[in-house]
Structure 1
Amino acid sequence: MISSEKEKISIIKIGGKLLDNPLRLKFFLDLLAQWKGKKILVHGGGSEASRFSQQLGIEPQMINGRRITSEKDIQIVTMVYAGWLNKKLVTALQMRNCNALGLSGADGNVILAEKRPVKDIDYGFVGDVKKVRADFLQLLLKQDITPVLNAITHDSKGNLLNTNADTIAAETAIAMSRFFETTLIYCFEKQGVLTDVEDENSVIPEMNKTLYQQMKETGQIHQGMLPKLHTGFDALQRGVHRVFIGNETILQGKNTLFTQLKQ
């Protein structure tokens, strides 16, 4: 009998201060390399890009956890995201016998985006995802290659664009759900969505959209958590099976605190 069940895949996004902590990053990469089944890693790197910008005398601008990207900024984030950080992660995975390939959106035309139109805010060279080439990623996965995607996309007109890495992860998970039973995992320095940012253990085990809206209105959720929750709920509505938010210990799969999003 031929099974109609889809093969499983995990789209794992790493960001926040987790990328900045060598010991925690090492632990995350150890767990990721051992992770069973097919996987795609998506990474941010905003704090690293901000530090580099400040060294060059350019002060980063953020609105609701999203970066305003000027012409100078797009050069900086491309160097940091698609260069240093991407290759650092790929090299670390190779050392752990996990064959990885680093990709920006322009490589293999894997992520096509369009420049965000100016409405209330001009985000500059920021892209909104139009298409993720799930077929291309599937070819890599069939060769036991783990794609490592960064936040740089392109518009097919010769322009590189900065796209929020949470969005990249969600759109990739949505695209891959055509072929796989897809789990989306956001990994950062906290154990999940917190009711009190000062209390590391005040994790909300399950979160629905109503609670999200309530906490957003009261200001309990703001800045970098907003894109995770917005894109996470969107992913659930568009075919992704499960969405989790937590720190690196979520990859251990047991006895850990984390938040699961529910429709």
Structure 2
Amino acid sequence: MSHSLTILKIGGAVLQDEAALSAALQFFTGMPGQKILVHGGGRKASDISRRLGIAPQMHEGRRLTDAATLEVVTMVYAGLENKRLVAQLQHMGTNAIGLSGADANIILSEKRKHTTVDYGFAGDVISVQKAPLQALLGAGLAPVCCAITHDGQGQLLNTNADTIAAVLAAGLAADYHVDLLYCFEQPGVMEDLSRPDSLIQELRPDSYARYRAAGVIAGGMLPKLDNAFRAVNAGARKALIADLEGLRNGGGTTIRL
């Protein structure tokens, strides 16, 4: 395990703010060592869905994906957003290559099963194929991975982008020193979004459970943190949730065991 690998996931609000996106991509370009960029595009997908008369539906921060919504998210995630990021990174000097989970079979998923909620064509990851990613990284390419996977039977699936970042970190942790960075619009995990001084600087499993039970941490932050813990449990060296300033200056919320 001689190489470092940084996996940076950028959130929907960053994607929709051109200045913030440019700064995040510049940060990614300047990161030393091998690297992977992971992105979603949920806000753009929701916007286009509404324009098409398809009402977005969410449950505990995760999108319910019927057949029509799957078409929209595939077009947005694997098409518009993915290629826009690749083009901008090429302009900045990073030789990027855009991927879905179906490309080179890198991420295999299964349709989510739930006792009470029908998530539709939402996918839960079964496996990550390391060899194609290692080949791309070894060739000096920076994979740009979107939130679309497949089931190996020809069916595309919508998979949470935070999950994509975490399973890549977990899958590659045995072969690299992996740092997982989640970049979004807040300074980190906050006790109260209206109070800038309420940043939670560190979360461990016991403190996370307390905050979650009290409703302090809820909604879309839940899958992000569940996945951060998943990555560090699997051997990732570090997981950090922060805005770009925090990533640059050592701020944000650090996830530890």
- Global fold match (TM > 0.5): yes
Match of 1:29 in 2: 25
Match of 2:126 in 1: 130
Counterpart selection for 1:168 from 154, 158, 164: 164
User: CA separation in 1, counterparts of 2:180 and 2:6?
Assistant: 6
Structure 1 unpaired stretches of 5+? none
Counterpart selection for 2:200 from 200, 204, 208: 204
Residues 39-96 of structure 1 show CA distances to partners (whole Å, capped at 9, x for unaligned) of 1000011111000000001110001100000000000000000000000000010000
User: CA separation in 2, counterparts of 1:173 and 1:28?
Assistant: 19
> Deviation at 1:251?
3.9
Match of 2:90 in 1: 94
Residues 10-52 of structure 1 show CA distances to partners (whole Å, capped at 9, x for unaligned) of 1111113111111111111111111111110000111110000
Match of 2:104 in 1: 108
Residues 115-138 of structure 1 show CA distances to partners (whole Å, capped at 9, x for unaligned) of 112421110000000111111101
Match of 1:244 in 2: 240
Match of 1:257 in 2: 251
Aligned-pair identity (%): 45
- Is the Cα–Cα contact under 8 Å of residues 170 and 230 in structure 2 kept in the other structure? no
Return the letter of the residue paired with 2:128.
Answer: V
Structure 2 unpaired stretches of 5+? none
Return the letter of the residue paired with 2:201.
Answer: P
User: CA separation in 1, counterparts of 2:121 and 2:245?
Assistant: 34
After superposing the two structures, state which structure 1 stretch, 12-21 or 150-159, moved more: 12-21
User: Is 1:185 the counterpart of 2:181 in the alignment?
Assistant: yes
RMSD: 1.1
> Deviation at 1:181?
0.8
| Count of paired positions | 257
TM-score by length of 2: 0.97
Return the letter of the residue paired with 1:260.
Answer: T
> Deviation at 1:161?
0.2
- Is the Cα–Cα contact under 8 Å of residues 188 and 247 in structure 1 kept in the other structure? yes
User: CA separation in 2, counterparts of 1:15 and 1:134?
Assistant: 24
> Deviation at 1:6?
2.8
Match of 2:35 in 1: 39
- Is the Cα–Cα contact under 8 Å of residues 111 and 132 in structure 1 kept in the other structure? yes
Return the letter of the residue paired with 1:175.
Answer: G
User: CA separation in 2, counterparts of 1:198 and 1:212?
Assistant: 20
Structure 1 segments (4+ residues) deviating >6 Å:
none
Counterpart selection for 2:142 from 138, 143, 146: 146
Return the letter of the residue paired with 1:6.
Answer: S
Give the secondary structure class of the aligned counterpart of 1:244. strand
